[in-house]
Amino acid sequence: MILSDEQLARYSRHITLKEIGVKGQKKLLAAKVLIIGAGGLGAPAAMYLAAAGVGTIGIADCDDVELSNLQRQIIHTTEDVGKSKAESAAETIKALNPDVTVKAFHGYVNSSNIAELIADYDFIIDGADNFPTKFLINDACVLGDKPFCHAGILRFEGQLMTYVPDEGPCYRCIFEAPPPKDAVPSCREAGVIGAMAGIIGSMQALEAVKYITDQGELLTGAMLIFDGLKMEWRKVKLPKSVPSCPICGESPTITKLYDEEQPSCSLL
């Protein structure tokens, strides 16, 4: 692959970085990232990955754009209200960077289709805001040997961790099963500051870029927690492995995908 003059100009700030350079930019242009959820987390992640020149970006979301989404879901505009989030996100990405091929999936992500959805991608972004989907993403990635970045936000707080096969714990290692229904409030119920979505979603994009270019340290074996009110970061060390994990432990009991429950369509 030879970069065109336009690409050399577009990605010049990447190419200047010794950690990226032309070689790293070519890796980004050849990479494929799937974002499950075109909402608060998926929106900034998608925009920064598109701007970075990730060659193929998949967007999966079953919802349509609502006016209340616009406080944090920056990939959508007022004119997009009523449109499929996946299609709205795809239009914004294409306008931002014509180098990017966008594949939009408007529908529920569930145990019957997620394995096929993730199969062709190099890295997965978890942009869901419900526990059934988060656990499903984890299970599909563990069984499919796919790396992914988990994140969650609520009120003024956010967290993220990255799973890479055989390099650290998975989501179920830390949170074995979803909490009881309604035990944890949703963003709709408890609220979330819009900028928190931008901070954490952008960090998910950074994790993807580091993985693709093989640079820096990923959040494998650690959970990064941010308190926006106190402006405090806390990095919690996680166990390298959890032998009792029901999906990646020594005697796994989860050997095929299933739906914890039918989640609501809302994705942050």
At residue 215, what is the residue type?
Q
- Which of 62, 173, 187, 248 does the annotation list as catalytic? 187
Cα 165 from Cα 175, distance rounded (Å) = 17
Is 173 in the active site? no
Taking each helix axis from N to C end, the angle separating 42-52 and 85-96, rounded to the nearest 10 degrees, works out to 30
Nearest to 179 by CA among 96, 261, 80: 261
Nearest to 147 by CA among 137, 157, 156: 137
Q: Are 188 and 153 in contact (CB under 8 A)?
A: no
Cα 71 from Cα 256, distance rounded (Å) = 38
* Contacts (Cβ under 8 Å, ≥6 apart) of 35: 42, 45, 46, 49, 57, 58, 59, 60, 124, 125, 127
User: Where does the chain have alpha helices with state H?
Assistant: 5-10, 12-16, 21-30, 42-52, 85-96, 114-118, 131-143, 171-174, 187-190, 194-213
Active site residues: 187
